[in-house]
Structure 1
Amino acid sequence: MIRKYVRLIIAGILFLGSILLFVQAIIGYGVLAVLVSGIFVLFHFKNEKNLIAFYFVRKNKFAKAERILSKIKHPENMIKGQEAYYYYLSGLVDAQSNRTSQGEKNFKKALEIGLRVSTDQAVARLNLSGICLSKRNKKLAKYHLQECKKLDKHKALTAQIREIEGMMKRI
């Protein structure tokens, strides 16, 4: 449990050290200590391995993203937001690697834990719809697709939604 907060403890110590440096009129090192403590706080809320894996997913380098995500041993020890995005990224990698059953589990777990951005929720629902459709479960695919339409407020996924609807008509 304490491992979650080690970065915040280090950031607090660095911040207190920076205050001491400011009091002693060592401004340059004080500013540096504040910046370093800010990095520790940032990495508390944004897991660096998730950020690197997300970068590789955006560049369509799923093998590298999978290798980065496999280095995370205990995702349940992360903050809830980080854990949700770990499962979301794992689901994207699994769906791309044709491991649909594992991808489905990861997407469901990410939605259960709670993705923060509605577009990410819509992408997860869209992928779940495609997975359900590949398993010939039209009713569940339709449900996920309707939820995806509700969540896609910026209409960024309209082409993919139409594609899934076209596939539904063929089944």
Structure 2
Amino acid sequence: MQTALIVMTLCALLYPGQAAAQSSAGLAAADTSSPRATLDSFIGACNELDERIQVERFLDRSSPTYRLLTRRIRDCLDTSGLAGYAHEQRALEAAVSLKEILDRDELPPWDKIPDIAAIESSDDPEEFARWRIPGTRFTIARINEGPQKHEYLISAGTVDRAVGYFRDVEARPYRTTGPDTSPGLHR
């Protein structure tokens, strides 16, 4: 029952009727200028949401803070491949599954993840079109068209297969190095 409540609440948060008009301190839009920035924005927003769930034990879906926070999570995902009829639910499941995967996989040192400086200094514009976390199927790709053109998002393929990927790693322990984890977020 608690799992269903959290999933329903997060779903409502990820897709509010209207975006909040103002941002609050610490809840800036997701930085998707590079694979490193996207990964940092996604992990940070998920950890902050998990912390708020743990501390408050209640989520006010109408709160501008929660709307901005969940928008930041969603803005890191390329959800273009998700079916329209279940788009919101699948995006929610993907976000939670992706965070759980990241919490279990060892991440490379941050200086090994391409940032905006590496991208801008590259002679090959395609060198950083896609970046995969080594040893995983977790890919961040540059968007080439539409309103998010030139942004780096967790790829549509990764988002589409996130729940299955999570099932593959679910039995693994949480990592003990790197960015903070949010154990049990999927529950």
Larger RCO, structure (CA 8 Å, separation 6 or more):
2
**TM-score normalized by the length of structure 1:** 0.25
Higher strand share: 2
Higher helix share: 1
Greater gyration radius = 1
